[in-house]
Amino acid sequence: MNALRTGILLAAMTGLFLAVGFVLGGEGGLLIALLLALGMNFFAYWNSASMVLRMHNARVVTRASAPEYYGVVEGLAKRAGLPMPQVYVIETDQPNAFATGRSPDHAAVAATTGLLRSLSREELAGVMAHELAHIKNRDTLTMTVAATIAGAIGFLANFAMLFGAGRGENRPNPIAMILIMILAPMAAGLVQMAISRTREYSADRDGAAICGHPRWLAGALLKIEQLARGRVMQTAEHNPASAHMFIINPLIKGGIDNLFRTHPATEERVRRLLAMEGGSTSSGLGSRGPTPVSRGVRRAGSVPSAGRG
């Protein structure tokens, strides 16, 4: 099913490239757009993960530089039956995380320094289990390719603007240029909508199973949602097409947020998680003291050590 969704997504993006190429250059532009789209799709498949990590200035960490963070991921990966992914950190105060990679054998997880500083070890385990569930379900290929292509689609608007500013008889139809300038940025939002919100529910459910405690992830979601308000992630604002990859929407919310919402409501996600253990949102998340992380997750150092590299 994920392979089918990826194919549909790539086909839709390719169709948009072809349409814009035809508007800009007729049959010649159509052919050029086709060649560019094929090359971009091939490149995105092999390189989109590294591109997304570079978008957010993520840096790799090791067991030595981030023992607690690395150990949590390592233990959960073993529980999930997954190869050890590469582990990255993003320098920003906003608590957030995402997973990327074309397959479980070529995967990575990234957490922000704000997340590592803000969450308890149990909550960190819940978040990382969610991201590993994305990897196990092979959602990451869809998400990374979507982020790469959506960013390229956004570039089309600027490209159309340059053509529209030209002179001479070969200048494209100005009405068509205006439409492209409006519709191309919207395409990035449509890509995010194409990444079904049910995928987050699935990763929540499977992540709770991996760490063994739905409450850990539920508590983390509530804390991230609260702490993320007012904390801007500049790399996400500059690359909004990658917003759907994060566990919580990293963008500053505006009036259009509900129209192009890429994440389910946090309250509903929490409700479903607590229902897995027969709890409720009124049961007082965070009222319990620290509890041991699932067996196989090794304690070493402190979570904030990841932020020191």
Q: What is the pLDDT of residue 34?
A: 72
pLDDT tens sequence across 251-274? 876 544 455 567 888 999 999 999
Residue 266 within any structural domain of the chain = yes
Residue 42 within any structural domain of the chain = no
What is the span of the domain harbouring residue 217? 56-137+196-308
Closest of 1, 56, 11 to residue 196, by C-alpha: 1
pLDDT score of 183 more than 60: yes
| Higher per-residue confidence, 237 vs 124 | 124
pLDDT score of 216 more than 50: yes
pLDDT tens sequence across 22-62? 776 667 666 766 777 677 767 777 887 888 899 999 999 99
Residue 22 within any structural domain of the chain = no
Residue 296 within any structural domain of the chain = yes
- Most confident among 78-87, 180-189, 291-300 (mean pLDDT): 78-87
Structure tokens at 82: 């997954």
3-state helix, strand and coil shares in percent for the chain, rounded to the nearest 5: 65, 5, 30
Whole-number CA gyration radius for the chain: 21
Summary mean pLDDT of the chain: 78
pLDDT tens sequence across 106-141? 999 999 999 999 999 999 999 999 999 999 988 887
Closest of 97, 294, 277, 133 to residue 206, by C-alpha: 133
Residue 202 within any structural domain of the chain = yes
For position 253, which CATH number holds?
3.30.2010.10
Q: Is 131 labeled as catalytic in the residue annotation?
A: yes
Residue 14 within any structural domain of the chain = no
Structure tokens at 44: 């995105």
58 touches 27 (CB < 8 A)? no
Q: Which residues contact 116 (CB under 8 A, 6 or more apart)?
A: 69, 89, 124, 303, 304, 306, 307
> Total structural domains in the chain?
1
Q: pLDDT band at 145, cuts 50/70/90?
A: low
Of the residues 131, 200, 225, 268, only one is catalytic, namely 131
Backbone angles phi, psi at 249, to 5 degrees: -55, 120
Question: How many CB atoms are closer than 10 A to CB 14?
Answer: 18
pLDDT score of 241 more than 60: yes
Predicted TM-score (pTM) of this structure: 0.74
Provide the b/e sequence for 139-156 (b: ≥16 CB within 10 Å).
bbbbbbbbbbbbbbbbeb
Tokens 């479903």 correspond to what residue? 272
